[in-house]
Structure 1
C-alpha cells in the first residue's frame, strides 16, 4: 500500500515550465527525493492531503495568465498544490498568490540547494516560503489581520538540532513565539540564570545582539518555517 502511495505521488509531480528554466536533471532529482522522503518516513503518508504537486516557473507567465491558470486549475483539482519557482530571489509581488492553492514560493537556486528541506515542509505542512519572504509576509499579515486573529506561527525546523542543543531549541522556539525571558523560565521550569545562559549561546550561534535580531537571523538562515 505504501509503495503504491509513493508511486502515485511520484507520477503526480508535474512541471509547468514553458521557458524551460528547470533542467531535466533537477526535475528527475525532485521526483527521486520525494520518493525517498516518503519511503523513509512512513508517517508522512498518513498526513499528506494534497497528492499532486505542480512546480510552476512564475517568470514564464504573465501575472494575468498565472492568475487565470491557478484559478481554473484550483476549481478543477482540489488535490493539487502549486509551488511557484522564480529565477531569482522571489519578490513580494508573488505573496498574493498564496490566496490560491499555492503551497510554496522559492527560487530555483534555493530549491536546488535545500531540496530536502523544501520538499519535506511541503509534504508535512503544505507550505514553504523562501526565508527572504518570511518577514515581509509576517509584516503584511500583521497589518491586515483582525485583532482577534493570531498571527501565523513561526516554527523552528527539525534540522536546527545540528546547530542548537535541545534546550536551546526549546528556548529559541519560545522566543519565536514572542515570550519574554520570565515567561520562558516559567514555561520550562527554569530559573532566569540558566535561561540567560541558553539565550547567550543562541545569540552567539546566530551572531545576534538581541532577541529581535536573533529571530531575523533564524528566518534569514532558513531555520524557520511559517505554518498555515
Structure 2
C-alpha cells in the first residue's frame, strides 16, 4: 500500500465507504449511476449518435461538480470504470475513431479554472486506446453559462461559438474521418450538435459521433 493511502485511506467517491484504491467506487454507488446507452442525433444533422455512460445523479453529479467548480481535478479518477466499460463496447462494435475531439472551453474560462475538465476526464483514456487526441476546435468567448438557460436558449447560445482551428483544416479536409466528440455532460445536445455542425461545415467527409460521461436524458 502506498504511503498516501496509509495517511489518507481511500474511500468511495460518493458515500465514503472504504475501498481499495483512491478514486474508486463501492459497488452500490457505482451500480446506482452506471447506465450505458446510445441515443440518435437529431434527424438531418451532422451528429450521428451520442454514447452516454452514466446517469447524472448521485456520485457522478458530485464528482463532475467538484471537477468543474471546486478545482478537484483528481476526482476524474472516478471516470475510470465507465470508460473501461466503454472500451469493451468499442471492441464489440469494432469502433476505432480516426480522431477524438474534446469539446473546448473558452480561453477566459481555462485561465479561471486552470484546465478543461473534458481533457482531465478523457485524455489519458484516449491515449491508452492508442487513439489520436486532436484539439480541433476553439471555443470563442461570449456564451452564457448553459445551466442558466432553457433548451431553446441553449441552442441559440451556442450558435457560432465554435471554430475549427485554421491550421488543421488542410490536414483533414480531404480525409474520410471518423470523429468522436467527447464532453462531460449531455443535457439538450446543443453543445455537441453545434460542435458537430461546425466540424462538418469545414470537413464535409467527417462522420461524427459523440461520447459523454453522464446525462439526465
TM tier, shorter chain?
A: 0.3 to 0.5
Which protein is richer in helix relative to its size? 1
Higher strand share: 2
TM-score (norm 1): 0.31
Relative contact order (alpha carbons < 8 A, sep ≥ 6): 1 or 2 greater? Answer: 2
Taking structure 2 as the reference length, what is the TM-score of the superposition?
0.32
